[in-house]
Amino acid sequence: MQPTSEANQRIARISAHLHPPNFQMEESFSLRRENCRAKGAGPGFKVAILGAAGGIGQPLSMLMKMNPLVSVLHLYDVVNTPGVTADISHMDTGAVVRSFLGQKQLEDALSGVELVIIPAGVPRKPGMTRDDLFNINAGIVRTLCEGIAKCCPRAIVNLISNPVNSTVPIAAEVFKKAGTYDPKRLLGVTMLDVVRANTFVAEVLGLDPRQVDVPVVGGHAGVTILPLLSQVKPPSTFTPQETDYLTARIQNGGTEVVEAKAGAGSATLSMAYAAVKFADACLRGLNGDQGVIECAFVDSQVTELPFFASKVRLGRNGAEEIFPLGPLNEYERAGLEKAKKELAESIQKGVSFIKK
């Protein structure tokens, strides 16, 4: 018995969800991909994850598939994206998932995208500093951002690839070269530092971490990570010993995980959680929600440095307002000076990578 035309259309529709453009069944049945939506998919945003098959990318992809503000999810990587896409596409949530594999499909992956999340790059291994990651990840970020500049220059970019203190300036220079740079739309993701700070402070205070809000400013590596414990909500006081302990643990949280995994990886699951928490805030801002405030590493005039992490208000245009640091105590002022010294070097390293 031959399949009916309606059945063929249904088969083509399923295929179009899973495979890149020009899939042969799609051509055979003249079904345009952009008109294909999984049954029940509601209105939302088109999101791309670049590096979707990696240690951060896979749980990040799964969690973004669950986000009701995502209608179409593009998964891109240089290996394994068809398998990751097939796997999470079976989840009964509204987002349509599509796979893109290799450099030739990068532009298709980015077409029409409104939010780009970039976890691509090599992970940190035991004994490896974030600077050790630089040469590999810098080149990856440059290539991906050249694609963004060409295909979706108005997208909001969430940059996770380490070292963030250098990769965000790299991205900015790429966008400047292309004439597409909008500082509001380039956001370095430092949310993991906030997530850790909320958790560790809650442990000391004996509270649920969801009740705690710790601003974390500066950058996203070692001493550049500066938790403002004097501004914790709910208002709290800490002994000098508690302040030292909490600051050191928040700054060294990544190393704690790398060592605990003993060569088997870095902070992938908590990073994916933090990235999704931040991406959701960006989507709520795009959706017009008011008062969406999170910390991020952005083009900034809060200090004399060109980039700095602090609280920002997220809206339809990205980081629409950058908040000042507020009152700092003596301990935090000393920490700020240490952070700025190292951060300045990391920023310059990123700028020089593009300008050399």
DSSP H or E run through 71: strand 70-77
- Residue 220 designated active-site: yes
Residues 196/253, Cβ–Cβ less than 8 Å? yes
Residues 327/140, Cβ–Cβ less than 8 Å? no
Annotated binding-site residue? 120: no
| Beta pairing partners, 328 | none
Annotated binding-site residue? 161: yes
Please, which residues have CB within 8 angstroms of residue 124's CB and are 6 or more apart in sequence? 130, 132, 133, 162, 254, 258, 266
Annotated binding-site residue? 53: yes
Residues 215/295, Cβ–Cβ less than 8 Å? yes
Annotated binding-site residue? 13: no
Annotated binding-site residue? 130: yes
Annotated binding-site residue? 156: no
Please, which residues have CB within 8 angstroms of residue 180's CB and are 6 or more apart in sequence? 149, 153
Annotated binding-site residue? 254: no
Annotated binding-site residue? 287: no
Annotated binding-site residue? 326: no
Annotated binding-site residue? 127: no
Identified catalytic residue from 17, 19, 74, 220:
220
289 secondary structure, DSSP code: -
Angle CA 99–102–183, to nearest 5: 85
Annotated binding-site residue? 236: no
DSSP H or E run through 303: none
Task: Report cis status (omega within 30 of 0) of the bond before 234.
Answer: yes
How many residues can be counted in the chain? 356
Of the candidates 80, 44, 42, the residue with the CA atom closest to the CA atom of residue 61 = 80
Task: Report cis status (omega within 30 of 0) of the bond before 163.
Answer: yes
Q: How far apart are the C-alpha atoms of 342 and 219, rounded to whole Å?
A: 9
Annotated binding-site residue? 54: yes
Annotated binding-site residue? 329: no
Annotated binding-site residue? 137: yes
Binding residues for substrate, as ranges, are 124, 130, 162, 196
Which positions are annotated as active-site residues?
220
Annotated binding site: 51-57, 77, 124, 130, 137, 160-162, 196, 271
Q: Which residues are annotated as a binding site for NAD(+)?
A: 51-57, 77, 137, 160-162, 271
